[in-house]
Amino acid sequence: MSRPKVVLAYSGGLDTSVAIPWLSEKGMDVVSVTVDVGQPVDLEAVRRKAEASGAVTAYVADARREFAEEFLAPALRANALYEGIYPLSTALARPLIARHLVEVARREGATFVAHGCTGKGNDQVRFDLSTTSLAPELEVIAPAREWKMTREEEIVYAKAHGIPVEATKTSPYSTDENLWGRSVECGVLEDPAIEPPEEVYGWTRSPTEAPETPTAVTIGFEQGIPTSLDGNRAPFHEIVLALNQLGGRHGVGRIDHVESRVVGIKSREVYECPAAVVLIGAHQALESLVGPRDVLDFKRGVEQRYAQLIYDGLWFAPLRTALDAFVRSTQERVTGEVTVKLYKGSARVTGRRSPYSLYQQTLATYSTGDRFRQEMSEGFIYVWGLPARTWTAIGTQPTALTSRAAKYRA
């Protein structure tokens, strides 16, 4: 009798490494899937490790360009920041990985998919909901929700099964990396009163150790998407990689955030997102140059909801798709260049230009060449303030006016 197949989202980290023998002991053949979303690891070594750990088949997929163009680009156009702080690096990768899991599960004839998420985290929600949205017929298994092992016990289990892991009892950090950022949790970070030690950072220098000379970088955008760096055209994912390195060298992109998880608990997370911080700031600056005020005001509310949907695992929900259509429509004129100065942990916009700029110097200047008809402002203010004046006049009783006037009598 053949054993049922389960397709496992495999990173090569502690949880998924332990999951292979655990699922095998439960009577399943494990097919591992490792998706390259920009994490700096040897994917071939990860594939070999999966097979050595007991996977019957190990797939690897290069999805960096797919990740950038189909997930990061929409998030950038929406200036997606969860709680106004977190660029959603980990959250954005999960629906993409789930899509690959579903594709492999159908190819392999599997009836289950699995992931290494715990019952406390957000990623379990993202994997489960993405899978349900794409393939309701598949059943999701989350071993870490069932085995009730602590991280220390997982390390012991892994060693007993001959599986090498990077996590140790003295360095228990849990990390996740992709093109858009790096996240770190566990260990001393679980106390939000303690400053993160330098050892938790892997992409960014301490701002105090960053270069003394600032670096200015000019980013070219076409319809809201970066297309060039200092005049040199490049694919979006290569621009992200370059800005991660450049921004990290200047200490840009460190985020220390106590966030509200989907499951209802608070969690302290440390993120490194140099490219995301630089690009979102630059994109916002360009939008402010070319966008009408009412569109920008309305879009800010959409951006908050868009980020919430991503964080909550609802990438494939109809509302996210509908909001994306609106966001795309706002980007038709978001074309131009933005210059950002990187220095000691900061990324400051210092210049912006666009052929669609709504900033007109002949209207804004107070010098020679001023074309603004200042004499027209009095009539505009009269009409603009008419509702407020009418409201006050109708609602003010004469007796009240008399009593207030009495206070000013000599």
CB atoms inside a 10 Å sphere around CB 388 = 9
Residue linked to tokens 């669609």: 356
By C-alpha distance, which of 58, 2, 47, 60 is closest to 28?
2
Point out the catalytic residue in the list 94, 205, 254, 333: 94
**3-class secondary structure, 185:** strand
∠ at Cα 185 (184, 189), nearest 5°? 115
CA distance 410 to 408: 6
CA distance 181 to 87: 8
Q: How far is CA 374 from CA 363, 365, 379, 386, in A?
A: 10, 12, 10, 20
Cβ 12 vs Cβ 41: under 8 Å: yes
CB atoms inside a 10 Å sphere around CB 156 = 13
Point out the catalytic residue in the list 47, 99, 123, 352: 123
φ, ψ of residue 232 in degrees (nearest 5):
-95, 115
Active site residue 294: no
CA distance 17 to 29: 15
Tokens standing for 214?
Answer: 């600032």
Active site residue 15: yes
Point out the catalytic residue in the list 174, 267, 346, 357: 174
Point out the catalytic residue in the list 11, 15, 53, 312: 15
CA distance 6 to 354: 51
DSSP one-letter string for 332-392: TT--EEEEEEEETTEEEEEEEE-TT----HHHH-SSTT----GGGHHHHHHHHTHHHHHHH
> Which positions are catalytic?
15, 94, 123, 174
